[in-house]
């Protein structure tokens, strides 16, 4: 398993970690299998979506914040209930198929670390499970 440290710079943001994940895969020589990208935090998440147009991620963040506002009639005293809810809606992990050492992402897809209560330095766990390539 590998651990990625992701520094964030805003309360809410998407950080494109696709190339960092690619570097981990190639650095370890991982070839054919399943990669799990897991966020061990209660106010952050992992998603896969369009990486080409940055307006897509800002539209997602804007919509999440409209649906789940920062301030509302929440009971949790820490004042970051919106971040907990956003993290649960988006989810803590993603899986990507690795074939011949390549991430099988669509042309426009990227892997994003989703910060909902930053800025801070976050961890992402990356675990690879090899599969028989069938060859």
In the three-class reduction of DSSP (H, G, I as helix; E, B as strand; rest coil), residue 37 is classed as: strand
The contact mask relative to Zn ion for 80-109 (x = CB under 5 A, - = no) is x-----------------------------
Q: Which residues are within 8 A (CB) of 39 and not within 5 positions of it... i.e. 6 or more apart?
A: 45, 46, 92, 93, 113, 114, 122, 123, 124, 125
Applying CB under 5 A, the span of 19-27, 31-39, 79-87, 88-96 interacting with Zn ion comes to 79-87
Using CB under 5 A as the binding rule, whether residue 23 contacts Zn ion is answered as no
Shortest distance (Å) from residue 76 CB to Zn ion: 5
Secondary structure letter of residue 43 according to DSSP = S
Using CB under 5 A as the binding rule, whether residue 78 contacts Zn ion is answered as yes
Applying CB under 5 A, the span of 2-10, 23-31, 76-84, 86-94 interacting with Zn ion comes to 76-84
In the three-class reduction of DSSP (H, G, I as helix; E, B as strand; rest coil), residue 2 is classed as: strand
78 vs 99, beta carbon nearer Zn ion: 78
Q: What is the Cα–Cα distance from 98 to 25, expressed in whole angstroms?
A: 9
Using CB under 5 A as the binding rule, whether residue 47 contacts Zn ion is answered as no
Helix ranges (DSSP H) in the chain: 18-28, 54-67, 81-90
Q: Which parts of this chain interact with Zn ion (CB under 5 A)?
A: 78, 80
């Amino acid at each position: 398993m590998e651990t990625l440290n992701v520094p964030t710079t805003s309360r809410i943001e998407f950080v494109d970690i696709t190339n960092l994940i690619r570097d981990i895969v190639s650095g370890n020589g991982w070839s054919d299998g399943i990669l799990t990208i897991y966020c061990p935090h209660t106010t952050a998440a992992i998603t896969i979506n369009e990486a080409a147009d940055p307006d897509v991620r800002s539209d997602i963040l804007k919509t999440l914040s409209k649906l789940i506002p920062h301030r509302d009639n929440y009971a949790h005293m820490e004042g970051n209930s919106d971040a907990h809810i956003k993290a649960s809606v988006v989810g803590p992990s993603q899986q990507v198929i690795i074939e011949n050492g390549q991430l099988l992402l669509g042309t426009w897809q990227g892997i994003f670390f989703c910060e909902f209560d930053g800025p801070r330095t976050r961890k992402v766990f990356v675990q690879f499970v090899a599969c028989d390539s069938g060859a």
